[in-house]
Amino acid sequence: MPGYEVAEPRLRCVLPFEAAPAELRLLRRAAVRQLSRWGMPVAADEAELLVTELATNVIKHVGEGASATLILEWRDERLRLEVHDRSSSVPSLKSASCNEECGRGLHLLAALALDWGTVLTAAGKAVWCEIPFSSGRSCRRVERAVEALEGYQAGGESAALQGKGQGIGLEESAIELIADLLHWSAACGHDPDDFLDRAQMHYEAELDAA
């Protein structure tokens, strides 16, 4: 997949791609290779998932075969991912219905990323998100998981649980969230068992490195 890199004043890589299911695997690989070149392979698992979600949104909401561009930018201890397309239709969390086959769309993006947004451009729009890269990454993983699960739980409950009840509620929400992610992976043509194995490998690798 062709692309070009700008090293100053920040690390930046531009990867044009075609919004098609068969192209997603190549796009993910190109993103992971670039992160490895920059010396930040520990962010690869999150980046793969976010790249897939951003590119899948183009396929679903702009159209299969549409021309798009992925931009990776690393600065200030943050990795920024942008996907540009030629549609001026701006997505929103409201449009990412919980009944969609491929999961919770932008709700998943909002849960995984430190920050995200959309911006209109001269050629169409860009959807972007950012993830942190620092020595406290494992702690941030736990914090982000709790934030995601509390928001996930709040969607189905009228009042917040407290104490032990809250812990039980978060456990149930975690199971439901994992199940949703497995449905998402299968709907996007991946092997759910492979996703679980890869997640376990990342988890064990980070424990060993701690």
Structural domains of the chain in order of their starting residue, each with its CATH number: 4-132 (3.30.565.10), 137-209 (no CATH)
Number of neighbours of residue 55 by Cβ within 10 angstroms:
26
Amino acid identity, residue 171?
A: E
Tally the residues of the chain. 210
Contacts of 2 (CB under 8 A, 6+ apart): 16
Burial of 65 (0-12, 13-18, 19+ CB in 10 A): exposed
Eight-class DSSP state of 121: -
Q: Any idea what DSSP says for residue 134?
A: S
3-state SS of 49-101? Answer: HHHHHHHHHHHHHCCCCCEEEEEEEEECCEEEEEEEECCCCCCCHHHCCCCCC
Give the torsion sign (CA, 4, 55, 113, 188). negative
DSSP 137-169: HHHHHHHHHHHHHHHHHHTT-SS---HHHHHHH
92-113 pLDDT per residue, tens:
655 444 444 444 556 777 777 8
8: amino acid identity, one letter? E
pTM greater than 0.85 (yes/no):
no
At residue 166, the pLDDT reads: 47
Q: What is the pLDDT of residues 114-154, one digit of tens each?
A: 888 899 999 999 999 998 875 455 455 556 666 666 665 55
For residue 9, cis peptide bond before it (omega within 30 degrees of 0): yes
Mean pLDDT is lowest, of 9-18, 68-77, 156-165, 193-202, for 156-165
- Residue 69's closest CA among 105, 114, 116, 123? 123
* H-helix or E-strand spanning residue 117: strand 115-120
